[in-house]
Amino acid sequence: MALTGVLRPGHVAIRVLEMAPALKHYTEVLGLTEVARDPKGRVFLKAWDEHDHHSVVLREADEAGMDYMGWRVDSPATLKKLSADIEKSGLCSDLEWIPAGEHPKTGERFRFTIPTGHVMELFAEKEKLGNNCGTDGPNINPDPWPDGLHGIAPSRFDHCLLYGDDLDGTVKLFTQVLGFGITEQILAGPDKKLMIGVFLSCSNKAHDVAFIRQPVKGKFHHASFELGSWEKVLRAADILSRTKTSIDIGPTRHGITRGETVYFFDPSGNRNEVFAGGYIYYPDKPPITWYDEALGPAIFYHDRTLNEAFLSVFT
């Protein structure tokens, strides 16, 4: 499949209550690398196998949560086209252009608020730093992984799960305007027609973003990072225990997306996930449907029961 349009999640901007303990968590426990700071006090980080300059932005604030999620598109022309399509759709509010350089080494970004209240942005240009696997350069004769990895060391920022009220409008935006496909859905109600959860992909992944219907606006459930194997998920849980990091759930397995997972919290209460597994998605694959009475195995396949705190705690 030729990937065009929206290519992948590009970055997530997370609010933290205190920068020092948050930065220790994201660098020493999760294992991201700090690449820049700016005059606003924001810290920019990346995972080891990401070539883009940064994928995580930390900002100190009075309330934890997500400021915005950014998406890389394939070209400046696509950025202009999608910005016009978003405006024409009438589904979004607070449309604005963020000038080049507001994020370091990043071109202009088009920012908008989606029907669930989350702030999203599109961008086409961000400097490539490489993944430091090649001794002769980032893409020359590379090793499978670089020296100096620390903490859990995920390979990339992968997706977010978000909570909001107008799920229908957000699904319409992502599928009809931005070109995403529905990989999985959760249906409820007496006729099983009310969508209460949706998993969306702009790529070959089981999902690039997911939304759960809740009577709130703009809430953040978790940011997820990819590890590559079940063994690495188990190792991540060991590191979380050794560092006395608050574990939410796992290690376990999802029915939805088939991923192996462990969830945990940063010092500000923002939930992180590291995961492995899943499946390859193509646009002609019919969506997988789960009914609400099967939410237990859908979310936690091994013990087949819901963890209420997992559903009700968000920032």
254 is an active site residue = yes
Q: What is residue 203's three-state secondary structure? A: coil
Tokens representing residue 60 in the block: 């100190």
Distance CA 215, CA 146 (A): 44
Distance CA 251, CA 65 (A): 24
Q: Which of 25, 54, 103, 159 is labelled catalytic? A: 159
Q: Phi then psi for 297, rounded to 5 degrees? A: -70, -25
Q: Which of 118, 260, 273, 281 is labelled catalytic? A: 273
Distance CA 35, CA 29 (A): 17
Q: Which of 50, 184, 222, 281 is labelled catalytic? A: 222
Residue showing tokens 């696509």: 78
159 is an active site residue = yes
CA-closest candidate to residue 24, choices 244, 312, 234 = 244
Q: Which of 26, 163, 263, 281 is labelled catalytic? A: 263
63 is an active site residue = no
Termini Cα distance of the chain = 36
Tokens representing residue 87 in the block: 């405006």
207 is an active site residue = yes
Q: Which of 25, 118, 207, 221 is labelled catalytic? A: 207
Number of H helices and E strands in the chain, helices first, is 6, 17
Cis before 251? omega within 30: yes
Q: Which of 11, 121, 254, 260 is labelled catalytic? A: 254
25 is an active site residue = no
Tell how strand 259-265 and strand 194-201 pair up: unpaired
Q: Phi then psi for 209, rounded to 5 degrees? A: -160, 150
Distance CA 126, CA 118 (A): 22
291 is an active site residue = no
Q: List alpha helices for 120-246, DSSP H.
A: 167-172, 230-242
> Do residues 116 and 155 lie in contact, with contact meaning Cβ atoms separated by under 8 Å?
no
Tell how strand 56-60 and strand 6-16 pair up: parallel
The catalytic residues are 159, 207, 222, 254, 263, 273
